[in-house]
Amino acid sequence: MAAEDAARTVGLPRPPGMTRLHEVGTPGHPGGTGHPGGPGERWPRVTDPPGGDDRSGAATAGRNAGGDRVGALDALRGLALAGILFVNIPPVLNLTAVAGEPWSIRHFLDLFVQQRFFPIFSVLFGIGFAIFLERARPKARRPRVLLLRRLLVLGVLGWLHQVLQPGEALLPYALVGLVVLLPLSYLPWWLNLVASAVLLVVAMVLTSGGISLLPGMLLLGFALGQSGVPWALHRHGRAIAVLFALATAASVAALLWQEQEPLMAGFSASSAIAGLCLATAYSTGLLLLLRTRVGPALSAVLAPFGRMALTNYLTATLLFIPLGHLTGVADSGHWVRMLLLACGIIVLQLVWSRLWLSRFRYGPLEWAWRCSTWWRVVPLRRDAAPAPSPDSAVR
């Protein structure tokens, strides 16, 4: 069963910009089979959700003014990006532990930040790859060639970034995308969902988490993107609330378990499980907040930050390394100063992301990534005329 047919079976909305596979000539998919209304029928765009109930602001939080983007995903990406910065700075700048402080900043970060935002970022990258592949289908006869090119460019960026930040995420994302996501992109979403669960369990059992969780998390995001879940978020507030309650309860138990071996944070099954539980609690908690009256304001702050995730992830490294040495954070035990440095960079990027996107369609590196993927220059300024279809460049 094709991913979009499966999404309809389970009652999920079809992502915008996606035409039926049989409408673009995919072999083996007979036109109109099982679809009332025939091949010409379209799923409703996300800008017109069924029911039209927007009393809580959930629909506004679930999508942005651009129509095709899911604003909640951008906000989640922004949250993950902010949390990751607090994890990346200490090892790169070689911060040392402060003796005699049982409840130190480092210990707090181990409990509530370390391995807590990396899963969110990874799942969102997987969702992004799935969305890109599905949107490329009506524009190209070989959409996986575009995804391949996209992954190769990401790998080059990650390889260069490794020079400044060993252990960064972009190169592993590209490698897992090439080895895992591309081959499994031929499978339906439910099989990929099962495969992601298997990969996560095996990684947890054999290696106690860490980077070995990456294939499972990226594939989980890819399966969610295939299924259409991102476009249904604004309609499932009760399910999100239940998941938040369960994840919060599980997080408490997992943190108590992690506290039994505090020196193994980041290298134990307890910290890995606590990380997955807290990542789920943070994600669902933010999704619930986006449905409240503060949702539009919160989305206005986080979504532009998340839309420029690639640019902000890389430029954060270019900022904190020199600033860390100038402020005396590097090779020290100044954890409070490190927190101030991280917060300052986040505030700066929040402001500049909003200002940049008020005039441009994409972040600078996002634009370069898009151009190299489609192998053509796409409009950057908001007042520029839309580019013609890139079909001829990729067929």
Q: Domain map of the chain by residue range?
A: 68-376
CA atoms 106, 112, 115, 120: torsion sign:
negative
Does the pTM of the predicted model rise above 0.85? no
Asked whether 248 and 288 are in contact (CB, 8 A), the reply is: no
Q: How many Cβ atoms sit within 10 Å of the Cβ of residue 172?
A: 18
Q: What number of helices (H) and strands (E) belong to the chain? A: 17, 0
Dihedral angle over CA of 155, 229, 313, 169, nearest 10: -40
Report the distance separating Cα 234 and Cα 231, nearest Å: 7
pLDDT tens over the chain, length 395 residues: 444 444 433 444 444 444 333 333 333 333 333 333 333 333 333 333 333 333 344 444 444 433 457 889 999 999 999 999 999 999 999 998 765 554 588 889 999 999 999 999 999 999 999 999 999 999 999 999 999 999 999 999 999 999 999 989 999 999 999 999 999 999 999 999 999 999 999 998 888 778 899 999 999 999 999 999 999 998 999 999 999 999 999 999 999 999 888 767 767 888 899 999 999 999 999 999 999 999 999 999 999 999 999 999 999 999 999 999 999 999 998 999 999 999 999 999 999 999 999 999 999 999 999 999 999 999 999 886 655 544 433 33
Kindly report the backbone phi and psi dihedral angles of residue 362, in degrees, each rounded to the nearest multiple of 5, phi listed first.
-135, 160
Report how far Cα 144 is from the mean position of its chain's Cα atoms.
Answer: 20
| b/e map 27-58, b = 16+ CB within 10 Å | eeeeeeeeeeeeeeeebebbeebeeeeeeebb
Closest of 307, 338, 306 to residue 113, by C-alpha: 338
Asked whether 311 and 304 are in contact (CB, 8 A), the reply is: no
Q: Give me the residue label for tokens 């539980």.
A: 277
Q: How many Cβ atoms sit within 10 Å of the Cβ of residue 121?
A: 23
